[in-house]
């Protein structure tokens, strides 16, 4: 199966932070085809958009000293969270009617279990990624994070 099916169009958006911004976030997220695109990076907050291909996932991760909000815009996902890597006790199937709040120091993963790309936005407080981040694929994101 092609893991990038439906996530290969390019959206020409640049990181607008820290300037004020008014936008239709749902529309921008639906148009985003990159694995991750930083939309707005300020001093204390960052908004990124993501396109997770069918069968793809963010990958099990934890953010120290950082809270995260995820808004599902399109698709279906399985959310798994917990205080220990081997005990993800909070688990739920979600769609575009759901938001996910992830406290700092919480293990989490978002898995696309649908038949279309999963489109979401993530709000990090404080910012998690460098200003202007654009990563076309998860592999590119992993390489960047190793070097960051």
Predicted local confidence at residue 1, as pLDDT? 35
Q: Is the pLDDT of residue 131 over 50?
A: yes
The arithmetic mean of pLDDT across residues 131-136, rounded, is 96
**Cα within 13 Å of Cα(113), Cβ side:** 12
Predicted local confidence at residue 95, as pLDDT? 98
Q: Is the pLDDT of residue 71 over 70?
A: yes
In order of their start, the domains of the chain are 25-147 (2.60.120.10)
Nearest to 117 by CA among 50, 34, 28, 53: 53
**CB atoms near residue 122 (< 10 Å):** 22
Share of residues in the chain with pLDDT > 70 (%): 92
Predicted local confidence at residue 11, as pLDDT? 62
pLDDT tens digits along 102-125: 999 999 999 999 999 999 999 999
The sign of the CA dihedral 46, 144, 35, 96 is negative
Q: Is the pTM of this model over 0.95?
A: no
CA–CA separation, 37 and 87 (whole Å) = 30
CA–CA separation, 37 and 92 (whole Å) = 25
Measured in Å, how far apart are the chain's first and last C-alpha atoms? Answer: 31
Predicted local confidence at residue 104, as pLDDT? 98
Higher pLDDT, 62 or 4: 62
């Amino acid at each position: 199966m092609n893991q990038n099916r439906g996530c290969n169009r390019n959206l020409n958006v640049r990181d607008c932070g820290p300037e004020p911004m008014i936008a239709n976030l749902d529309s921008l997220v639906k148009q985003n085809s990159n694995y991750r695109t930083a939309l707005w990076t300020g001093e204390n907050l960052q908004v990124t958009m993501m396109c997770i291909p069918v069968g793809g996932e963010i990958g099990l991760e934890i953010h120290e000293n950082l809270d995260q909000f995820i808004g599902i815009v399109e698709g279906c996902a399985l959310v798994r969270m917990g205080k220990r890597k081997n005990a993800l006790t909070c688990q739920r199937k979600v769609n575009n009617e759901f938001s996910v709040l992830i406290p700092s120091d919480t293990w989490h993963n978002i898995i696309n279990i649908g038949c279309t790309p999963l489109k979401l936005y993530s709000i990090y407080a404080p910012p998690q990624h460098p200003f202007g981040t654009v990563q076309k694929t998860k592999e590119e994101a992993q390489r960047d994070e190793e070097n960051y």
